[in-house]
């Protein structure tokens, strides 16, 4: 395990890791609360792999991790395999959008760890292709997102068929009431490992841009042209708007791709791989499609449409500023959005800088009226003019 930790480049544990790993190593149930991108995966992966590697020979699967999206499940598997590289621990994934046959065969090979989306796993269990009577450890990752996506009935159906004697760990970026109720029903005398989960990470710089609905696309194009955007995720409210917005940006010469629920698994994988490898500079996504995106190099998150809740805002902007890197979160605020934007500020205890930009038309100079980052005095003078 120490070889794998050194090979992964880990030197100092993140706060959530320092608080969650010791009780998890002792076999206690854990409720971990921390923002997206702060190291929660390693907080449960390291104790899990250590326990399985120290006592090999059990007939798997011995550990189950439930995740809300295919992308997050695949990312968790990649992290587990990286940390288990010097052990005999084997991992497989189970999720929808692909044929069930290969997944059923992988389960029959009795891997040590299964990372699964609830819907497909429950389907395989009902077919008799997934036996989980040997599960010793259960993890619910991004539990608040799974509840938001309506997975609670599937989760309860899966858990009802697991051994009652097991270690359970539940990790979440936010703590709405349903999460607390779920934790109380699943965890026995849990250790609460909390790492400032209520607010976004401090390495993110926030900005609200006041803009009319009809000018959003022009403002987005202007910002993408003027700022040092290495990789941006743009959030839209609906999958249809995400597709149209990606098409509009491509016609404007931006290397953009959409990620939305109507895409096949192959299309989603090509979009994510292209964005992760630098083939696309902008990923346009909906909240649900973007759950579990883990790309270290995201420099900007743009809320093209204002998120509905402060929790959704935290999840979205958590895609930048990861692992201590700086990030920027831009939010487009229409006149109708002002009360909701103020609510987000109040609930997250933030004071967000506001800009009222002059939208450059196609015939106008590209940099007209745009306040530069970290120059509030210059921005104020432009607003007065």
Which CA distances in Å does 131 have to 171, 251, 262? 24, 50, 31
Residue 376 vs residue 319, higher pLDDT:
319
Residues 146 and 218 in one domain: no
Looking at the 3D structure of the chain, how many domains does it have?
A: 2
- For residue 208, the enclosing domain spans 204-379
The confidence band for 374, taking pLDDT boundaries of 50, 70 and 90, is very low
Q: For residues 244 and 145, what is the distance between their CA atoms, to the nearest angstrom?
A: 26
Residues 213 and 182 in one domain: no
Q: For residues 336 and 141, what is the distance between their CA atoms, to the nearest angstrom?
A: 34
Residues 273 and 346 in one domain: yes
Is residue 350 assigned to a domain? yes
For residues 346-374, b (16+ Cβ closer than 10 Å) or e, as one string? eebeeebeebebbbbeeeeeeeebbbeee
Token duo for residue 22? 């010791």
Of 163, 195, 227, at which residue does a domain stop? 195
Residues 140 and 169 in one domain: yes
Is residue 287 assigned to a domain? yes
Among candidates 41, 77, 66, 68, which has minimal Cα distance to 158?
66
Q: Is the pLDDT of residue 285 over 80?
A: yes
Residues 275 and 137 in one domain: no
Coil, strand or helix: which one is 187? coil
Residues 151 and 283 in one domain: no
Per-residue pLDDT tens for 149-161? 788 899 999 999 9
Residues 209 and 276 in one domain: yes
Residue with token string 């699943």: 186
Residues 214 and 86 in one domain: no
What's the pLDDT at 260?
79
Across 327-349, average pLDDT? 91
Q: What is the CATH number of the domain that holds 164?
A: 3.40.50.300
Residues 189 and 239 in one domain: no
92 close to 103: Cβ distance less than 8 angstroms = yes
Q: Is the pLDDT of residue 367 over 50?
A: no
Preceding peptide of 61 cis, ω within 30°: yes
DSSP 357: P
Among candidates 50, 73, 35, which has minimal Cα distance to 172?
35
């Amino acid at each position: 395990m120490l070889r794998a930790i050194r090979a992964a480049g880990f030197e100092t544990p993140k706060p959530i890791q320092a608080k969650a790993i010791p009780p998890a190593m002792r076999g206690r149930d854990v409720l971990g609360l921390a923002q997206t991108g702060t190291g929660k995966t390693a907080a449960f992966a390291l104790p899990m792999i250590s326990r399985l590697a120290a006592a090999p020979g059990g007939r798997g699967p011995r550990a189950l991790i439930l995740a809300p999206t295919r992308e997050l499940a695949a990312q968790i598997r990649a992290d587990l395999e990286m940390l288990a590289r010097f052990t005999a621990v084997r991992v497989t994934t189970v999720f929808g959008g692909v044929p069930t046959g290969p997944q059923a065969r992988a389960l029959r090979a009795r891997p040590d760890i299964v990372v699964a989306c609830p819907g497909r796993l429950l389907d395989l269990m009902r077919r008799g292709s997934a036996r989980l009577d040997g599960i010793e450890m259960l993890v619910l990752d991004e539990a608040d997102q799974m509840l938001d996506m309506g997975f609670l009935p599937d989760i309860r159906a899966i858990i009802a068929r697991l051994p009652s004697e097991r270690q359970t760990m539940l990790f979440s970026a936010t703590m709405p009431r349903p999460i607390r109720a779920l934790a109380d029903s699943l965890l026995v005398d849990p250790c609460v490992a909390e790492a400032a989960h209520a607010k976004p990470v401090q390495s993110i710089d926030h900005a609200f841009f006041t803009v009319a609905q009809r000018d959003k696309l022009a403002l987005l194009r202007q910002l993408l042209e003027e700022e040092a955007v290495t990789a941006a995720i743009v959030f839209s409210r609906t999958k249809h708007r995400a597709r149209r917005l990606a098409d509009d940006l491509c016609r404007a010469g931006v290397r953009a791709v959409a990620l939305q629920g109507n895409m096949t698994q192959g299309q989603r994988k090509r979009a994510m791989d292209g964005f992760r490898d630098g083939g696309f500079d902008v990923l346009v996504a909906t909240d649900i499609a973007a759950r579990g995106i883990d790309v270290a190099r995201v420099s900007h998150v743009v809320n093209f449409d204002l998120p509905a809740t402060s929790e959704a805002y935290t999840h979205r902007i958590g895609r930048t500023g990861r692992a201590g890197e700086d990030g920027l979160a831009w939010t487009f605020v229409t006149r109708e959005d002002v009360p909701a934007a103020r609510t987000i500020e109040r609930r997250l205890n933030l004071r967000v800088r506001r800009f009222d930009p002059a939208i450059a038309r196609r015939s106008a100079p590209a940099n007209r009226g745009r306040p530069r980052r970290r120059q509030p005095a210059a921005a104020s003078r432009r607003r007065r003019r």
